Amino acid sequence: MEFNSSPSYIMHIDLNSCFATIEQQANPFLRGKPVAVAAFTSPGGCILAASVEAKRLGIKTGMRVRDGRAIYSGLIVLPSDPWKYRNVHLKLRKLIADYTNDFSPKSIDEFVLNLKDYPALEDSPIKVVAQEIKDRIRSEIGEWLTVSIGIAPNRYLAKIAAGLRKPDGLDEINKDNFLSVYSKLKLTDLTGIKARNAARLNGMGIYSVLDFYQAPIWRLKAAFHSITGFYWHARLSGYEVDDIEFGRRSYGNSVALGKNLSKIEELSPILARLTEKMCGRLRGARYCAGGIHLMLTFKNGSWWHKGRLLIQPYFDSRDFYKAAFKLLIEADPKTPVLNIAVSCFGLTRNRCLQLGLFEDVDKKRDLVTALDSVNERWGGFTVGSARSFGGAKIVMDRIAFGGVKELEEFTLNSG
């Protein structure tokens, strides 16, 4: 397959060191200093974002605060402030909408734009448009905010191009330079190729990105044992295979526990809080769910999970909690739990539910609707189960990693 010779219409925008840079934008005294935003500021807290200055010292996302401070004792560690980041996301979204309505947020700090046939490209080449977007972000949202922009004929290569130079990069991968770009990359520099996939490719005699591009499709299919090999070939040849938006199939909430908790009576308030949070979002989108899933990961590295179909689709948090609590009893944790994740699946619209023989479903729905109205007026968890209030200090507002679905919710709610 020849490399796609059509012009580059896809732009990938990546806000550099998102949370940390936004904190530096908000507080000018933090600018130019190594800053980290962490889930918890205590030594065991996980670093969610490191500023450009911190990254230069070797401090990375995913490190513990204590490890970051071991590298640089003067590291400034801040707790996360979700609404600050969500608002910057919304401002970026608004700015991008001036150029195209064919765009999608990939996470809180990443957007993909398709500019094909949009007026923005009528007067200016795509690189000029990209530079204009960078300039406008600085002048209209915050002068400390920088983005790396990648341009390519497809989404995948646009993302790779955005990662070529950070911070503040602007690069294009096209038919004229792709060989030169590929020759400078390692296999594991490619998004989606980590140690295991690299080993698969090595097994077929593919050791570099150039080998990967030049490999015949049959060899790639053999390496991945599926059609995936063809998709990789198309991606690296500049053809679009990632223009797919997946619909929502579940709702879930999870929390990392800062404390050593393993008893059912300690975990159940947290589970109740998570379940209520999840159900509030489920009902807000006018869904019922026909199944529930619980996952526990333990501090010793092991994990337990189980999903169960419910006897009928539910909408009431109490029903979901009962089912989730049964799963927690089954899990019977013996060692401290690191993470609890509860989710519901089998989504259906909640218009016509089976009437119950022993309970009045309409009455139950009216009660739940009334409680949701109170919470909507006065703020989440103004009214909730007494049990769930025990989990309030642990289940806090967080931004999910890659939480594109969560972004849809707050975008709708912010209007």
Partner 1 sequence: MAEAIDEKVTVGMSDFPKWVKWRARVHKIEKVGLHYTFREGRVLYHIFSVSTKTLAMKLRFDTETLGWRLEEVSDGI
Interaction of residue 378 with partner 1, rule CB under 8 A? yes
From the list 87, 208, 254, 339, which residue makes contact with partner 1 (rule: CB under 8 A)?
A: 87
Tell me the C-alpha distance between 408 and 126, whole Å. Answer: 28
Rounded alpha-carbon distances, angstroms, from residue 10 to 16, 37, 104, 120:
19, 31, 11, 13
Tell me how far, at minimum, the Cβ of 406 lies from partner 1, in Å: 15
Tell me how far, at minimum, the Cβ of 51 lies from partner 1, in Å: 13
Under rule CB under 8 A, which residues in 138-197 are in contact with partner 1? 142
Helix (H, G, I), strand (E, B) or coil at 288: strand
Tell me how far, at minimum, the Cβ of 258 lies from partner 1, in Å: 19
From the list 60, 64, 69, 84, which residue makes contact with partner 1 (rule: CB under 8 A)?
A: 84
Stretch that binds partner 1, among 85-93, 130-138, 167-175, 234-242 (CB under 8 A): 85-93
From the list 244, 332, 379, 401, which residue makes contact with partner 1 (rule: CB under 8 A)?
A: 379
Nearest-Å Rg of the Cα atoms of the chain is 24
Tell me the C-alpha distance between 58 and 71, whole Å. Answer: 7
From the list 375, 390, 404, 405, which residue makes contact with partner 1 (rule: CB under 8 A)?
A: 375
Under a CB-based contact definition with an 8 Å cutoff, are residues 342 and 294 in contact?
Answer: yes
Interaction of residue 261 with partner 1, rule CB under 8 A? no
Judged by CB, which is closer to partner 1: 29, or 358?
Answer: 29
Under a CB-based contact definition with an 8 Å cutoff, are residues 310 and 348 in contact?
Answer: no
From the list 58, 382, 392, 412, which residue makes contact with partner 1 (rule: CB under 8 A)?
A: 382
Tell me how far, at minimum, the Cβ of 377 lies from partner 1, in Å: 5
DSSP string, 247-272: PP-EEEEEEEEEEEE-SHHHHHHHHH
Judged by CB, which is closer to partner 1: 124, or 373?
Answer: 373
**Residue holding tokens 């619909």?**
247
| Alpha-helical regions (H) of 75-151 | 82-96, 120-123, 126-136
Tell me the C-alpha distance between 317 and 364, whole Å. Answer: 11
Judged by CB, which is closer to partner 1: 10, or 145?
Answer: 145
Residue 349 phi, psi (nearest 5): -70, 140
Interaction of residue 260 with partner 1, rule CB under 8 A? no
Under a CB-based contact definition with an 8 Å cutoff, are residues 313 and 361 in contact?
Answer: no
Interaction of residue 95 with partner 1, rule CB under 8 A? no
Stretch that binds partner 1, among 76-84, 114-122, 206-214, 226-234 (CB under 8 A): 76-84
| Token couple for 269 | 């308030």
Tell me how far, at minimum, the Cβ of 380 lies from partner 1, in Å: 8
Interaction of residue 376 with partner 1, rule CB under 8 A? yes
Tell me the C-alpha distance between 257 and 296, whole Å. Answer: 11
Interaction of residue 28 with partner 1, rule CB under 8 A? yes
Judged by CB, which is closer to partner 1: 86, or 281?
Answer: 86
Stretch that binds partner 1, among 4-12, 84-92, 205-213, 350-358 (CB under 8 A): 84-92
What distance separates the 2 farthest-apart alpha carbons in the chain?
A: 71
Under a CB-based contact definition with an 8 Å cutoff, are residues 313 and 289 in contact?
Answer: yes
Site residues (vs partner 1, CB under 8 A): 22, 25-30, 33, 76, 78, 83-84, 86-88, 142, 375-380, 382, 413-414
